[in-house]
Structure 1
């Protein structure tokens, strides 16, 4: 029985896509060639050569129906091809191991949005994903708690496994190389630069950050990588879409995560591995694994706490103690790919599917 992974796509994109790519890379290092089922593939990636790809086309359908069609096809392909265990990164009732990197009701609650018909469809599909699976892998305690609260699933079925990060890509560089990157990106001297990586600005809290950085007279600047911004301010800079976001992490002094909803926040761990601490809302999933050397927490419910966090970061920047020199002192878990795979494949063995 071949090991199978399903996801919306195998490509460089958001957090769950990076997670699926990381799993494929880790399995390749072990000599395991999984079956990957997806709506689309980037055939230029090396990972594409390391899998048996099954393309499930959905483009002929209206956008709102594509996830449900994908689920329907996955269920039938799993039975016909005997694909077990199926590690599902997307919402599908075919999952044996359901990866929970988010919950739709949690997103609606955090964004203060009412549930429309499409939201009810998404929640129904997510319920099938979680209830039918043999085990749920939650990417944070926050997600484990939401699975229990919104879906009534018993804690015994849930395993918290924080997601891995590819250390071959995300790692620190020398001080000289870092200074060269700062110059290349045009980051200012004499100011501490805080990096926001965002493709969904409202969820990522860009409005709150702009309000603060526009008004402050502290020696700080905000650099935004990702979707374009419509902001004009002397100490706010747009870096564009970056295929090498790891270099932006290395160049910045801090990465800031002020998201209204962030189930985990891989950017935080990626940043720390690149030597750059984070300033992070305590409601963000990755704050659960942050040690003092890794950064500073603040509360979204207390505007004054954000300014205190920035001032505390500035103190570290001024005395030169802010850089992360020892990842183990900054994070309370091992983000290595193989450690994560050991646990994930251990869950497959535990339910008798390895």
Structure 2
């Protein structure tokens, strides 16, 4: 099958950019002819033999209109090339399948931000892309529900497809080195350690956690934050440890992952932590709650500080039973993810 993958750049940084390379590797290994359409290329990136790259440079295009210009340029390529299947990892109109890792009005609603002119332009592009795609691949049931409600898209047009998680990097065998990792990262030996890996602290719920852990100063719990530098004061039982270069070691170190996010379309750190054998404590606004049962963690259905203090205490007392084949059960492996994409492709070409 002649398959086109569309993104803005070919570089191994960020979640969707890294996933683009995973798609390329998996699809070519299965014998498909892959073409990648991007606007930027990191020239030292190595691709499998036979992969073709088409570049639509946006360098001379003013930033405010790049999104429209790029869409038009890509449409011209698609009309000329006539691929069997086109998958877009970004907002592009008229494709066979479009990933939906989030949506703008849902985000604005969740963070209670007023809609500005630029927001309206972004939403109009989303509406065009969602309406014109043959199939939407939503990262969670939460995202599917929002796209139906906020954009008026028919539910049968949307398929829930959770992001794939690397089981070579994130796996339960890491727990056997928990004591070693805890010493390396300075986790307390006599406390129950909650971990958050974050690049967007307010949206991930850090202010709530500061209030909650302020009430837990005299209890044997600690909070460890990894990610972008912190700009707010934290109580003594909370500690910032810098960027997470090896997140898998942090997940294995922690007694629990904690994520009281006000809005998280999926939250891949949830699947990563569970696959490392670490239970999770999440808000109801995390899309990955769909893969969490009483065996893997707890869900808090409010943003009340008192409710979170109670949940933190309960988390320290609960026993969880994470299955070694959790990723297989939840179809989180890359092979299962690509199987689902190819199923969409085959139904569209028949």
Q: Against the structure 1 CA distance between its residues 232 and 301, is the aligned structure 2 distance closer, same or farther, given a 3 Å change threshold?
A: closer
Residue 253 (structure 1) aligns with: 255
Residue 225 (structure 1) aligns with: 226
Residue 74 (structure 2) aligns with: 74
Q: CA deviation at 1:220?
A: 1.6
Aligned length: 348
Select the residue among 322, 339, 342 that pairs with 1:342: 339
Paired residues of 1:24 and 1:50 also in contact (CA < 8 A): no
Paired residues of 1:35 and 1:52 also in contact (CA < 8 A): yes
How far, CA to CA, are the matches of 2:42 and 2:307 in structure 1? Answer: 42
Paired residues of 2:210 and 2:234 also in contact (CA < 8 A): no
Residue 324 (structure 1) aligns with: 322
1:293 and 2:290 matched? no
Paired residues of 1:163 and 1:335 also in contact (CA < 8 A): yes
Residue 117 (structure 2) aligns with: 117
Q: CA deviation at 1:199?
A: 1.1
Q: CA deviation at 1:240?
A: 1.8
Q: Which range moved further: 48-57 or 167-176?
A: 48-57
Q: Against the structure 1 CA distance between its residues 179 and 8, is the aligned structure 2 distance closer, same or farther, given a 3 Å change threshold?
A: farther
Q: Against the structure 1 CA distance between its residues 61 and 187, is the aligned structure 2 distance closer, same or farther, given a 3 Å change threshold?
A: farther
Residue 38 (structure 2) aligns with: 38
Paired residues of 2:84 and 2:349 also in contact (CA < 8 A): no
Q: Deviations over 1:150-183 (max 9, x none)?
A: 1111112111122221211211235442221121
How far, CA to CA, are the matches of 1:73 and 1:32 in structure 2? Answer: 24
Residue 157 (structure 2) aligns with: 157
Residue 265 (structure 1) aligns with: 267
Structure 2 SS opposite 1:351: helix
Q: Against the structure 1 CA distance between its residues 343 and 112, is the aligned structure 2 distance closer, same or farther, given a 3 Å change threshold?
A: same
Q: Deviations over 1:172-201 (max 9, x none)?
A: 235442221121111121111111111111
1:201-220 paired onto structure 2 within 5 Å = 201-217=201-217, 218-220=219-221
How far, CA to CA, are the matches of 1:15 and 1:308 in structure 2? Answer: 33
Q: CA deviation at 1:62?
A: 4.0
Unmatched segments (≥5 aa) in structure 1: none
Residue 127 (structure 1) aligns with: 127
How far, CA to CA, are the matches of 2:250 and 2:66 in structure 1? Answer: 34
Q: Against the structure 1 CA distance between its residues 12 and 237, is the aligned structure 2 distance closer, same or farther, given a 3 Å change threshold?
A: farther
Q: CA deviation at 1:298?
A: 0.6
Residue 303 (structure 1) aligns with: 305
Q: CA deviation at 1:82?
A: 2.5
Q: Which range moved further: 112-121 or 78-87?
A: 78-87
Q: CA deviation at 1:244?
A: 2.1
Q: CA deviation at 1:232?
A: 4.2
1:44-83 paired onto structure 2 within 5 Å = 44=44, 51-83=51-83
Structure 1 SS opposite 2:266: coil
Q: Against the structure 1 CA distance between its residues 277 and 25, is the aligned structure 2 distance closer, same or farther, given a 3 Å change threshold?
A: farther
Q: CA deviation at 1:137?
A: 1.2
Paired residues of 1:205 and 1:260 also in contact (CA < 8 A): yes
How far, CA to CA, are the matches of 2:249 and 2:38 in structure 1? Answer: 29
Select the residue among 277, 294, 298 that pairs with 2:279: 277
Q: CA deviation at 1:42?
A: 4.2
Q: Against the structure 1 CA distance between its residues 51 and 224, is the aligned structure 2 distance closer, same or farther, given a 3 Å change threshold?
A: farther
Paired residues of 1:22 and 1:164 also in contact (CA < 8 A): no
How far, CA to CA, are the matches of 2:49 and 2:42 in structure 1? Answer: 10
